[in-house]
Amino acid sequence: MNLKDGITTYQQTGELAIVTSIMEDAAETDFLGNPTRRYRFVEGNDISIDLAHPHQYIAYRIRAIREKAVKHAWYVREPIRWAYDELNRQLSILHIDMGVRIPFEPVDWEKHIYKYDINPELLEWLRKSDDEITRAYHELGTVANYRLYRGVLSLIEPTEEAARREESQIRSEVMFDMEAALKHVLPYVDVTRSDREIVKYVNQSLMTRYYDAQAKRNGLRRLRKGGADRTVQPNFMTPLGTVLGAEIAEETVWQRIGGRQADFLRKLVEAARKDMVAGEMEKYGLTKDSCYVMTGERAKEISGLSYDAARRRLTRIRKKVYTRSPVSVAR
Which of 65, 117, 67 has the alpha carbon at shortest distance from 91? Answer: 117
Whole-angstrom Cα distance, residue 324 to residue 329? 15
Q: Supply the pLDDT for residue 88.
A: 94
Full pLDDT tens readout for the chain, 331 residues: 789 999 999 999 999 999 999 999 999 888 877 787 776 554 444 677 778 788 988 998 899 888 888 877 777 888 898 999 999 999 999 999 999 999 999 988 887 889 999 999 999 999 999 999 999 999 998 999 999 999 999 999 999 999 889 888 888 888 998 899 899 999 999 999 999 999 999 988 888 777 777 666 655 556 555 555 656 667 778 889 899 988 888 888 888 888 999 999 999 999 998 888 777 888 888 888 878 899 999 999 999 999 999 999 999 999 988 754 444 445 5
Q: What is the dihedral of CA 30, 35, 41, 44, to 10 degrees?
A: -20
Q: What is each CA distance from 104 to 101, 123, 253, 304, in whole angstroms?
A: 9, 11, 70, 68
**pLDDT tens per residue, range 120-168:** 999 999 999 999 999 999 999 899 999 999 999 999 999 999 988 988 8
Task: Tell me if the pTM is above 0.85.
Answer: no
Q: Provide the 10 A C-beta neighbour count for residue 217.
A: 11
Which of 253, 199, 268 has the alpha carbon at shortest distance from 22? Answer: 199
